[in-house]
Chain A
Amino acid sequence: MNGDFLALLPKSVVPQVTAAAPEAVQATTVFAFHCREGVVIAGDHRATAGNTIFSDKTEKILDLDSHSLMAIAGVPATAFEMARTLQTTFEFYRRSQLQPMSLQAKIRALSKLLRDNLPATLQGFGVVAPIFAGIELSDPKAGPCIYFYDPLGAQFEAATFAGSGSGSGSIKSVLHFLEKWGDPPPGEMSVPQATTLAIRLLMTAAEFDSATGGVNPELELFATIKVLTRDGIKTIDLKEQERCWREKAR
């Protein structure tokens, strides 16, 4: 009994593709950045298939357990399955071993799923480039961390922010600018300030990326925004986002 849930399954949960597939795209915008209280992780709601908007109500920020989250960018079928696999893996380990999985093990569990997905990634089908946010609860001094991955499974810790998806280029530029010259920089923002920033970032991404959308406060369309602290995960609900937007978090 080693607490490995995947060992209980008869085969790999990720699809093994052998046929040629179309060019890889990660049509979305998800990002995470540190704020004063913890880590903000946010994403738009649009899912696309080529030039077609598939849905404007897609949840891309998924709770994996009480203290870890995943933002998905890439092929939804594979990404959702990875998130579901991790949710069960973390809870199975915690319950069977009577202790939570360490942060490093969680980070590597996602890395392993990405590596197992290598055949689909290399063929351009099933590419996933997620962002992970978590916290090492066994260390009383540890704060939340952000990790981003390449589609082959390499993980990198983000000191200040990370972004993924086709709309993340413009967002990363803005976040870099704010970290250097912002007053306050995102790392010193309160949660309401960071919420307003997250909405603005998604609107900026949507301006330049057709695959990012579904966020427009004037039409009462808001993003998924969550905050991770040592107390757990807090979802900034639509009402709260609207309040922050109206008050511009002054």
Chain B
Amino acid sequence: MAEHIGNSANNNGSNGLRLKIGLAEMLKGGVIMDVINAEQAEIAEKAGAVAVMALERVPAQIRAEGGVARMASPKIIKEIMHTVSIPVMAKCRIGHFAEAQVLQELGVDFIDESEVLTPADELHHVDKHAFKTPFVCGARDLGEALRRIAEGAAMIRTKGEAGTGDVVHAVKHMRQIVKDMRALTVLGEEELYAAAKEHRAPYELVRMVARTGKLPVPNFSAGGIATPADAALMRQLGAEAVFVGSGIFMSDSCTLAAPKEAEARARAIVRATTFYNDVKVLAETSEECLGAMKGLAVSALEPEALLQTRGW
């Protein structure tokens, strides 16, 4: 199935894409946690994270401190890679293919071309077919997801509103993507051309979604997930795994949570992500979870403060 979305012009062919999607498949049902040092990475691994995202600052800190947010220092990334045996991801700026080249050279297992960092290109995203390392990209609706897949993304995640601890836009994006996909499945063959135009996405990918009712790559959720119940909510809405950024290691935008607290939260969210359909376990995990980050209500943010509008 996966080979159909391989771009034959790229330098690693459809088998390359199958391997990228293959790793995404292995992460399903799990939690990917943002970490800023080896110590946090260890806590994440011990809690049962399936992967960690190596960063210099988590989104809540980036939001609070401002300035230009760039790829993390290779030193931090290497330290984290040496500390844990689970896959390590790292972020590059939208369109910054040189940062992506560096990350690939370091050997990170997944690259997140992320709106959380300051975009490097206002027009173009990275040509992800040109890389051997798989990419994950954010999307707010089906069209955006398919545009990223056309560029070679092997995993899609909702954009949510990173660093807020407010799940409202992760929900909005997931519902939108699921609704868009469902709508395609009832269209006639002849209606798919106009649907492709409407979604501003390649016709072949639109037709593929119309036939299968799902994305041709795994569909994860990110942005504002802060509690076990948030993780379960996203899973029940159709997310195949979740990213938790600031929600585990921060108690508010500038203060780190105590390690004990972070560990309890991490474990509780991991458990809730697997047993998302079991209310008894959800009640237990919600109780086990010590506190949650204070957070920012997305509705109180000025439009220019939103990270999710970066990229197209």
Q: Report if A and B associate in a common complex.
A: no
